[in-house]
Chain A
Amino acid sequence: MFSILKKCFKKSIWVYHTNASACNGCDIEIINALTPFYDAERFGIKLVGSPRHADVLLVTGAVSRQVCPRLKRLYESVPDPKLVFAIGSCATGGGIWFDSYNVVGGVSKVIPVDFYIPGCPPRPEAILFGVAVALGLVDKKVAAEYLKEKSFSELIEVGK
């Protein structure tokens, strides 16, 4: 599936941008990525006005209760194959209001998400990087970290 996607998408990704109760910060950075200094259009990325034309759904925001059913319908109206990007900390993990009464808390709780671009808001560079990761042009740079301090017995082992 992904290999087909990669082939089809490489030169022309049409994106549709959805604001699911975001603060506009991420939305403006998305448009910023299309303006002269970052010019995402040189990679064939184009913002389209209808989800039916889109290959990729860019979702920002923590998804409020009112938006939730509409987001599901929007997702269904994007033709397959499709990718979903969650942009910003709110879309990734719910942000500062992740457990509020009117917020679902992250896009992945409503629709399946393929890529996350955290940041509050992410720099336009980070958005371009996210797209590059999705296309398989570069490898992701983050990985889960687990650090553990050495316990006594381990310290003693080292001492021996």
Chain B
Amino acid sequence: MLTAKEIIETLRTKFNNHIIKADEKVSNQVFVRVVPDTLVPLIRFLSKTLSPRFLINAGTDLVRQDGKYLVSYIFSFDSDKIFLCIEVAVDAAAPDIDSITPIIAGANWSERETRDLLGINLRNHPDPRRLVLADDWPQGLYPLRRDFPYDYKPPSEPQNKVHLKKPPEGTKVIPIGPFYPVLEEPAYFKLFVDGETVVDCDYRGFYNHRGIEKIGDTKLTYNQICFMAERICGICGFIHSTCYCEAVEQAAGIEVPLRAHYIRTIMLELERIHSHLLWLGIATHIIGFDTLLMQAWRIREPVMWLCEKISGNRKTYGMNLIGGVRRDIPHQMHDKIITVIEKIERETLEVIDAVMGDTSLHVRLKDVGILTEEVGRSICTVGPTARGSGIPIDSRVDHPYAAYDRINFEVAVESGCDIWARTLVRLKETMESIKIVKQCLLEMPDGPIMGEVMEEIPSGREAICCVEAPRGEAVHYVQTGQDNRPYRWRVRAPTYPNLQCIPNIIKGERIADVPIIIGSLDPCYSCTERMAVVDVKTGVEKLYTKEEIIKR
């Protein structure tokens, strides 16, 4: 087991002259500030020796304080329960930085995002095209800079359109895209095919960029952001708001009552149950097995009613505030929850039993969409996508939040690397979630649900929080600021790294399998683009598109 001190020590012995400061601001979260030139050697050294998992990078505009842009690279030591944040301050006059994508493939998108939104130029980046901003967004305007007003809508400059890759020689192009007549959701894939086989693909997403981070930094207050965080995603909204709240609470050192932690855990697990059942329905719909779509959604519906009873709304629970939760789960509700949960447990078991032996499903799902452990690790995939490839990461265990350090549960890991393995992981997790809810209800202590929150949250603090969403882990990084709002709030949704592995896993597959492969990642575009793309529906519509094209 590594400790925070050992990590600092290791870095100090190797790069002592280049480290400006290194400290443990929040317990188990190490923040190291280094000289810009050392960044690439340091990260190469890190990935060779300690091999932490890259989470995200975040750019912050500190021009008013010291004339610099701060770029933070956040890593996770999973088995040691430690976050490492490497910070580099770049001069605002010449904001250039060396890209780390050649070392860590998973940093591709997040570096491009920093470039798009904050204007930090990347040296040696393999694919420096525009990622986040709209096609007609003017050059040289960077929304996350402090002097950019959050509600300024610049005039259109259509010449900045992003050009997708040219197809390799001898291949045909199949667009699966937002403006194709059949497609509705904003994600655009361009497949290059040779006969039936997919040779390569290119992606243009971020149709859902809504500028959430900017609004959070400039317009809303700490408590209002909880509600906006919840609307990052309509399926795993509560996860985002919990993640945000926990990050602020850790940064400010706010004690949250235990009962509130338990209530958060229950709501998180209820959300996981309905999300996994939803995914099961959509995935089977993609391969044309509509019976299971209808039945899975029928099983899922009582959870929605239950959530409506507990929180007052079916999807956006609005339960979280900084310091605790807004609504209690009274004792008389426990029986009701148990009854619903047990019914779902029974019915899900029946479904699992029926699905396991279905050879027609095996034919479609086994040995399709192979994501090897090696590729999975290099792209930093998370959640069931990673666990289906034998990468045992689960932030409920690795970085415990809410009440998970008091709860016993198993992490479902499968080594099949194919879609079937991912399906099994999700089914197992559903059963585990049911157990967790039951255990929480049994152990939930009495007490207040809202903690003491100081009048003003001190500025200049930083914290990172990971929360395991149904599709992977969500990462929120918060820097507290003045005027009752964070100075910087960075969100990474689980689909963000997962979506980046699509070119790898659809290479060599047949066209007919592409929709279910994309669907098997349980992609959620709205999170990813936060401001955010695939929802469930997209996958579905994509399928139609392709089929229709093939027919012609």
Contacts and interface: CB of A to CB of B under 8 A. Distances in A.
Interface of A: 16-29, 31-32, 35-37, 49-52, 61-62, 64-67, 70, 73-74, 77, 95-97, 99-103, 120-121, 123
Given A37-B298, A50-B181, A121-B314, A23 B237 contact: yes
Interface residues of B, number: 62
Given A21-B207, A102-B211, A70 B301 contact: no
A101 B143 contact: yes
B153 A23 contact: no
A97 B152 CA distance: 13
B210 interface: yes
Contacts of B143: 101-102
Given A64-B134, A120-B316, A121-B315, A19 B150 contact: no
A66 B211 contact: no
Interface stretch (B24-32, B457-465, B528-536): B528-536
A25 B537 CA distance: 11
A149 to B, nearest CB: 29
Interface string B136-147: 110000010000
A100 B235 contact: no
Contact of A25 (B149, B208, B231): B231
Nearest to B531: A102
B210 A21 contact: yes
A62 B207 CA distance: 11
Given A17-B537, A100-B210, A100-B215, A22 B234 contact: yes
Given A65-B137, A97-B210, A27 B186 contact: no
Given A37-B301, A101-B151, A19 B211 contact: no
B210 A27 contact: no
A25 B527 CA distance: 11
A1 B545 CA distance: 32
Interface string B207-244: 11111101100000000000110011111010000000
Given A19-B535, A49-B541, A100-B531, 9 more contacts: A22-B208, A24-B535, A36-B294, A66-B186, A66-B206, A66-B207, A97-B212, A100-B151, A101-B152
Given A101-B148, A102-B209, A26 B234 contact: yes
Contacts of A31: 297, 536-537
Q: Nearest 6 A-B pairs (CB), nearest first?
A: A25-B234, A49-B544, A24-B234, A100-B211, A35-B297, A66-B134
Given A24-B524, A102-B143, A36 B234 contact: no
Contacts of A123: 314
A102 B215 CA distance: 11
A63 to B, nearest CB: 10
B538 A50 contact: no
B125 to A, nearest CB: 22
A16 to B, nearest CB: 7
B408 interface: no
A77 B181 contact: yes
B472 interface: no
Given A27-B234, A103-B211, A121-B315, A35 B301 contact: yes
A19 to B, nearest CB: 4
Contact of A19 (B133, B184, B313): B184
Nearest to A35: B297
Nearest to B301: A37
Contacts of B297: 31-32, 35-36
Q: Which of B134, B185, B215, B544 has the most CB of A within 10 A?
A: B185
A28 B208 CA distance: 16
A95 B234 CA distance: 13
Interface in B280-302: 281, 293-294, 297-298, 301
B231 to A, nearest CB: 5
Nearest to B184: A18
A24 B535 CA distance: 6
A96 B134 contact: no
Contact of B316 (A36, A50, A121): A121
A66 to B, nearest CB: 4
Given A23-B232, A101-B211, A103-B210, A29 B315 contact: yes
Contacts of A29: 314-315
Contacts of A51: 181-182
Contacts of A67: 178, 186, 207-208
Q: Which of A95, A97, A102 has the most CB of B within 10 A?
A: A102
Nearest to B285: A31
B526 A24 contact: yes
8 contacts: A18-B184, A19-B535, A25-B316, A37-B301, A49-B545, A66-B209, A96-B227, A102-B134
A110 to B, nearest CB: 13
B522 to A, nearest CB: 12
A50 B231 contact: no
Nearest to B293: A35
Q: Which of B210, B211, B315, B536 has the most CB of A within 10 A?
A: B210
A50 B544 contact: yes
B186 A21 contact: yes
Contacts of A49: 182, 541, 544-545, 548
Q: Which of A37, A73, A77 has the most CB of B within 10 A?
A: A37
Nearest to B542: A49
Contacts of A99: 150-151
Contacts of B228: 96-97
B542 to A, nearest CB: 10
B536 A24 contact: yes
